[in-house]
Structure 1
Amino acid sequence: MRKQLLTTALLSAMALNQACNTKKEEAKDETSKKPLSLIVVEPGHFHAALVQKSMYADVDSVVHVYASEGPDVKAYLDKVEKYNTRAEDPTKWKEEVYTGTDFMDKMLSEKKGNVVVLAGNNQKKTDYIKRSVDAGLNVLADKPMAIDAAGFDKLKEAFASADKNKVLLYDIMTERYEITNALQRELAAVPEIFGELQKGTASDPAVMKESVHHFFKYISGEPLVRPTWFFDVNQQGEGMVDVTTHLVDLVQWSAFPDVTLDYQKDMKLLNAKRTATQLTPSQFKLVTKSEKYPDFLGKDVKDSLLNVYSNGEMTYTLKGVHAKVSVLWNFQAPEGTGDTHYSIMKGSKANLIVRQGKDQKYKPVLYVETKDKSKAYEDAVTAGFKAAQDKYPGIELKKNAAGWEVTIPQKYDNGHEAHFAQVANKYMEYLKAGKLPEWEVPNIIAKYWLTTEALKSAKR
């Protein structure tokens, strides 16, 4: 009996000790800070929430939000809450929110985190970037970082300040992570397949990228409600400086991978033009939930139609290679379709083409098109493709009349929303290393010089 009592007492003590240790561990988990902590400033664009669609190993779950009070911050918080409460793989963000007209000054005085996330109204974004890096904070910014020539000058100052203060300033280039874009870059670097990048001409560029977007769309399964300021080019920026940022980035990244570019020596703008997309009052109401046009859009309304200068194109040379990028915005995509992308890179042996039309069921597909039908070239393509297969297991070449289609397993098609986490993870790798690749900052500066210079040219 005595032995049984001693055993029971020992087991009780062990259980109590284990419970105490568990509580200590839980308390430790709650109080231990991870190396990175997010500060979200004025989240007016849904991209701010998409950065938080996933959790990150090195990022604290507490997010400090500073914004002006209104529908923009509410829409952001609602999206984050949906990610936190979804049935599958819910996130665990804890939002600490400050709203007030002095939100930027408050954030800078408190500095409760070390990574500022900016995705919202672009009118003041460059200023927010500059003030954040001046204060010694890292910045992950949605595109565009600058929407006009004055903004470009301030952005150059911001990069100089970031370098001085040993912090990293980076923009969210999601399109690098779309699989057909990644593979187009990969195959362009294989001489056996692509040969050499052609120079092209102004009327027949060697690299072209075209993008079609829509004002009304679905995000995370729900209709996207856009803020009214999104349709004011003074606040959002024109199409020439907005979506084209992605396209210019892809041209640089795929045609000259890991090469440092100097915009004053390596780039020359040849031509730029801009046009407007017209919205009816009912379309504007559908996408904004606003009953009327706000006063700041009065300048763009004619005969009740809202003219949004969201379309633009530019032709330019990059290290002597002729390139063209263009963007077009429609109101809504036809049923079963969505945003589309077209891209071509012309090589001496083959053209690498991404198409996303009806024949591709509106999914991007990469083709290798060539005039050389010889057995020797076919064998060279098969051999050269192996390096890409090693990097992306499962991709295959499927023969067709024009050359080949690159078939891509479903696992690589993770969708636009997932690319935000991929960009964030890459940025966190750079933060851990304490630096960006040598070519990144000069190439970001070159990119924004081109877009803002094109806008200046188109408006003359």
Structure 2
Amino acid sequence: MRKELLTIALLSAMALNQGCSTKKEEAKDEAKKLLSLIVVEPGHFHAALVQKSMYADVDSVVHVYASEGPDVKAYLDKVEKYNSRPEDPTHWKEEVYTGADFLDKMLAEKKGNVVVLAGNNQKKTDYIKKSVDAGLNVLADKPMAIDAAGFDKLKEAFTSAEKNKVLLYDIMTERYEITNALQRELASLPAIFGELQKGTPENPAVVKESVHHYFKYISGEPLVRPTWFFDVNQQGEGMVDVTTHLVDLVQWSAFPDVTLDYGKDIELLGAKRTATQLTPSQFKLVTKSETFPDFLKKDIKDTVLNVYSNGELSYKLKGVHAKVSVLWNFQAPEGTGDTHYSIMKGSKANLIVRQGKDQKYKPVLYIETTDKSKAYEDGVAAAFKAVQDKYPGVELKKIAAGWEITIPVKYDTGHESHFAQVANKYMEYLKAGKLPEWEVPNMIAKYYLTTTALKQAKDKK
């Protein structure tokens, strides 16, 4: 009996020692990881979407610094849901500090090396500048600047980032939507597209339009937006918010990998802004707030909230006429959602993305042409093989106007998955120690255009 007890004790000690060793090894593995996230004042659901996936080179411990309130709670709740989901759960460990001095404490402690910013845009540019000044990399949700003063500070931040050898990058998820990516690929193939046309102010060569909705579902649940989201002084007007994505896509697809100089390559031709109206009941549905807060009183007329979330700008980019516009409605009709329209006009064909009723509200890419010759069709088929090599399974489907691009379901990963794709690309750049040469000047050009357009539109009033 005594011998059996000794054996059991010995086995227990061995198991305990093995368990301790395993935990020590796991801790060592985490310590070896190159990157550690610091999430600052997460007020937008995009902050949580960055953590919908795990990353091989990122420590599972995330350091969160925020003011106490519903915004940080909503972020933590979403991350916890990702951690506890039955399929492919994440395993983030959130170490949270809340207090009025959250930013100063973060900068003093520097417990990680990548700051993630997605929230109230009023102070975001300041947070960006202070983070890169402290030698921290920054991955920021759009927009990184919402007015002319913010643009000037953002330029200073990029200068500081270069000096401190850190990378400042914004989250351009729309580059990873498959029809946008394929439109860019096709525009680079002269046999299919020809040359990008110059267009005119009345008939631009590149047009991108998007319609968004305040009330929507994210990760299967109704999205609750913070009340400040509806204050243009905190969120930014439509001209400088979602239009950031559209301006980025114009640059990225029309002039891929080309470094732009905003002083020479951009000419703003016109800009206008309009408001979306929300009733008190609509505001309550999307914010869960019983009343309009005081900071929105300036935008209320006859009990209705007017949010300047819609914007349109017309401009020339390296001589090419372009137009982008964004419209916000309260809620999409049942069975529909946010929509996107895009056209690039070439000398041989137009590349068009439609997302309406005929497309069942899913984006579909078309090649439309007036050239019905066999020589052109053979040229399209031959050139398209380069696209198929890069995106296996993508096919051409002949239609009266040209071709529809049929895309396998595996590429339709959804908007939420694009945040992980952006993050993975950013981590590649961090490991390389640099961004592509064109990225920083083109980010500067993008924010110059949006903030200048806003100033021009407001000056008209």
Short-chain TM bin = over 0.9
1:25 and 2:22 correspond:
yes
Shift of 1:22: 5.7
How far has the Cα of 1:253 moved from its partner?
0.2
In structure 2, distance between residues paired with 1:256 and 1:178: 18
Q: Which residue of 1 aligns with 2:400?
A: 401
**Residue in 2 aligned with 1:99?**
98
Displacement of 1:20: 4.0
Instruction: For residues 105-133 of structure 1, give each alpha carbon's deviation from its aligned partner in whole angstroms, at most 9, with x where no partner exists.
Output: 01000000000000000000000000000
| TM-aligned CA deviation for residue 27 of structure 1 | 1.4
Matched AA of 2:247: V
Amino acid at match of 2:233: N
In 2, the alpha carbon distance for the partners of 1:26 and 1:382 equals: 56
Q: CA deviation at 1:13?
A: 8.5
What pairs up with 1:16-415 in 2 under 5 angstroms?
20-21=17-18, 23-31=20-28, 32-33=30-31, 34-415=33-414
AA partner of residue 168 (structure 1): L
3-state DSSP of counterpart to 1:313:
strand
Question: What's the secondary structure of 1:147's corresponding residue?
Answer: coil
TM-superposed deviation, 1:18: 8.1
List per-residue Cα deviations over 1:387-416 (Å, max 9, x = no partner): 000000000000000000000000000000
For the residues of structure 2 that align with 1:284 and 1:14, how far apart are their CA atoms?
Answer: 63
Q: Partners in 2 of 1:27 and 1:456 — Cα distance?
A: 56
Structure 1 residue ranges, 4+ long, deviating more than 2 angstroms after superposition: 12-23
1:216-252, CA deviations, whole angstroms, 9 ceiling, x for partnerless residues?
A: 0000000000000000000000000000000000000
Letter in 2 for 1:417: E
Query: In the TM superposition, what whole-angstrom CA distance separates every residue of 1:294-327 from its partner, at most 9, and x where no partner exists?
Result: 0000000000000000000000000000000000
CA distance in 2, matches of 1:20, 1:300: 65
In 1, the alpha carbon distance for the partners of 2:373 and 2:453 equals 43
C-alpha displacement of 1:17: 6.3
- Give, in whole Å, the separation in 2 of the partners of 1:167 and 1:30: 26
Distance 1:300 1:429 in 2: 43
* 1:15 positional shift: 10
| Offset at residue 26 of structure 1 (A) | 2.8
**Equivalent residue of 1:328, what SS?**
strand
* 1:453 maps to amino acid: T
Cα deviation, residue 66, structure 1: 0.3
CA distance in 1 between counterparts of 2:218 and 2:26 reads: 33
Amino acid at match of 1:63: V
Please tell me the residue identity of whatever aligns with 1:425. N
Q: Please state whether the residue corresponding to 1:322 is helix, strand or coil.
A: strand
**AA partner of residue 224 (structure 1):** L
Residue equivalent to 1:447:
446
Q: Can you give the 5+ residue segments of structure 1 that lack an aligned partner in the other structure?
A: none
Over aligned residues, Cα RMSD in angstroms?
1.6
**Equivalent position SS for 2:233:** coil
Query: How far, CA to CA, are the matches of 1:395 and 1:118 in structure 2?
Result: 35
Percentage of identical aligned residues? 84
What amino acid does structure 1 have at the position aligned with 2:177? E
CA distance in 2, matches of 1:16, 1:66: 40
Write the distance in 1 (CA, Å) between the matches of 2:17 and 2:387.
Answer: 53
Q: CA deviation at 1:386?
A: 0.4
* Unpaired runs of at least 5, structure 2: none
The separation in 2 between residues aligned to 1:172 and 1:376, in whole angstroms, is: 42
**Equivalent-residue separation in structure 2 for 1:263 and 1:193 (angstroms):** 30
Counterpart of 1:418, as a letter, is S
Amino acid at match of 2:172: M
1:30 offset after TM fit, Å? 2.2
Cα separation, 2, equivalents of 1:82 and 1:113: 23
Give, in whole Å, the separation in 1 of the partners of 2:317 and 2:384.
27
Q: For 1:178-237, what per-residue CA distance to the aligned partner results, in whole angstroms no more than 9, with x for missing partners?
A: 000000000000000000000000010000000000000000000000000000000000
